[in-house]
Amino acid sequence: MWAFNKLWIAISLFVGSLILGVVGFSMVEGYSLSDAFYMAVITFSTVGFQEVHPLSNQGRIFTGIYIIVNLGIFAYVISVFSTFIFEGELRKALQDFLIGREVKKMKDHIIICGFGRNGAKAAEVLFSENQKFVVIEKERETINRNADNEKYQFVLGDSTNDDALLEAGIERARTLITTLPKDSDNVFISLSARQLNPGINIIARASDSESEKKLIRAGANRIVMPDYLGGIHMAQLTTKPYVIEFLDMLNGVGDGKMNLEEVTFSNLKNDIRNLSLKEMDVRKKTGASIIAIKRANNKFLFNPASEDLIKENDIMIVLATPENIQRFRKTFCSS
């Protein structure tokens, strides 16, 4: 939007200068509006055509001052318009405008604050899972460096500024992921997001364990510490290599990709609800496996028995290949 602001400033200065010239020549020289407008245009543009009428001493003084004032305005206007035409700023500004219109239509989407390594990876995963999301990033160069940037919706702005959060639709979003490198920024964003949308789910990055409590107090629901998790992962590659290999498969790493999906009770077809796992016969019909059920009381039931029922407000954790997940959804889900 800053590009449009510069264009608007340039146009405002141009129009303001013309109005000043018309009023000045009308008052000082007594020109008609058409003559005053003509004089203002040729003076502003520095083309050097002849005056409509010979200027008086007061007219020459006004014209000299008007020319000096317009030198800076003329240079700025030409600079802005040249940038828009020759450096692609017009295309970028139009693209930002169209993206802004699309973001305004979003609802129940995800907002990613920051497009560094963590933010870009989060965007990649969300895009692969067909999730609606928008990224807030203040540096256009950071956006342009990412090969997948044209696939995503961006808001060019500072995530610590409420205006950027509002432009990204914070009031309509369901989740906010803040990945900025400074913990203090993530604390501030969490606090602002919680105030702007009390019901939003906030996932925050932290570098320092001491920041965890501050983020929770600021309103974050979940804290992720990449360095801490990376250290655990590397240690477990030594102690539990095959477990980690299996978990990597669940994260899409390696050849045998597997997916873990959440399926809520409300997503099931009406004739499937309140059936037992034996009656659903998920494994035979789709090749997928229900490895856990999260009950309405927030307790997990791992490796459920065939007699266990799927009840209201339950969430099933389904493990399968991407193809079998699709088969599961077509067979058991209403949408």
Is 296 within a domain? yes
Instruction: Single out the residue of 13, 57, 63, 61 nearest to residue 39, CA to CA.
Output: 63
pLDDT at 263: 92
Pair type for strands 175-178 and 201-205: parallel
Is 174 within a domain? yes
Mean pLDDT computed over 130-146: 87
Is 307 within a domain? yes
Residue 165 CB coordination number (10 Å): 26
The model scores a pTM over 0.75: no
Residue 90: pLDDT band with limits 50, 70, 90: low
pLDDT above 90 covers a percentage of the chain that reads 39
Are residues 178 and 132 in contact, defined by beta-carbon separation less than 8 angstroms?
A: no
Angle between helices 89-105 and 57-86 (to 10 degrees): 70
Give the Cα separation of 72 and 320 in Å (integer): 66
Residue 327: pLDDT band with limits 50, 70, 90: very high
pLDDT at 217: 93
Give the Cα separation of 241 and 239 in Å (integer): 6
Residue 52: pLDDT band with limits 50, 70, 90: confident
pLDDT, tens digit (0-9, with 9 covering 90-100), for 174-202: 999 999 999 999 999 999 999 999 999 99
Residues 121 and 203 reside in one and the same domain: yes
Are residues 40 and 18 in contact, defined by beta-carbon separation less than 8 angstroms?
A: yes
Mean pLDDT computed over 14-23: 88
Residues 118 and 215 reside in one and the same domain: yes
Give the Cα separation of 154 and 111 in Å (integer): 10
Are residues 296 and 312 in contact, defined by beta-carbon separation less than 8 angstroms?
A: yes
Is 248 within a domain? no
Is 309 within a domain? yes
Mean pLDDT computed over 234-253: 83
pLDDT at 108: 92
Is 94 within a domain? no
CATH number at residue 201: 3.40.50.720
Strand residues in the chain grouped as ranges (E): 110-113, 133-137, 153-156, 175-178, 201-205, 222-224, 259-264, 289-294, 300-302, 315-320
Residues 270 and 219 reside in one and the same domain: no
Q: Which of 87, 116, 147 delimits the end of a domain?
A: 87
pLDDT at 156: 84
- Diameter of the chain measured on Cα atoms: 103
Residue 103: pLDDT band with limits 50, 70, 90: confident
Amino acid at 299: K
pLDDT at 255 over 80: no
Are residues 187 and 214 in contact, defined by beta-carbon separation less than 8 angstroms?
A: yes
Residues 207 and 264 reside in one and the same domain: no
Residues 9 and 59 reside in one and the same domain: yes
pLDDT, tens digit (0-9, with 9 covering 90-100), for 54-78: 888 888 888 888 888 888 888 888 8
Are residues 25 and 36 in contact, defined by beta-carbon separation less than 8 angstroms?
A: yes
Give the Cα separation of 22 and 44 in Å (integer): 11
Residues 163 and 212 reside in one and the same domain: yes
Written as six digits, the tokens of 251 are 């994260």
Residues 187 and 266 reside in one and the same domain: no
**CA 65 to chain CA mean position, Å:** 47
pLDDT at 53 over 70: yes
Is 129 within a domain? yes
Total domains in the fold of the chain? 3
Residues 125 and 63 reside in one and the same domain: no
For residue 245, how many C-alpha atoms fall within 13 Å in the half-sphere facing its CB? 7
Residues 114 and 83 reside in one and the same domain: no
Q: Which residues span the domain enclosing 305?
A: 259-332
**CA 30 to chain CA mean position, Å:** 56
pLDDT at 239: 93
Residues 202 and 174 reside in one and the same domain: yes
**CA 303 to chain CA mean position, Å:** 38
Mean pLDDT computed over 235-252: 83
pLDDT at 2 over 60: no
Q: Which of 87, 115, 130 delimits the end of a domain?
A: 87
Give the Cα separation of 81 and 6 in Å (integer): 10
pLDDT at 95 over 70: no
pLDDT at 64: 86
Residues 124 and 202 reside in one and the same domain: yes
Residue with tokens 């059936």: 275
Give the Cα separation of 290 and 272 in Å (integer): 14
Residues 63 and 144 reside in one and the same domain: no
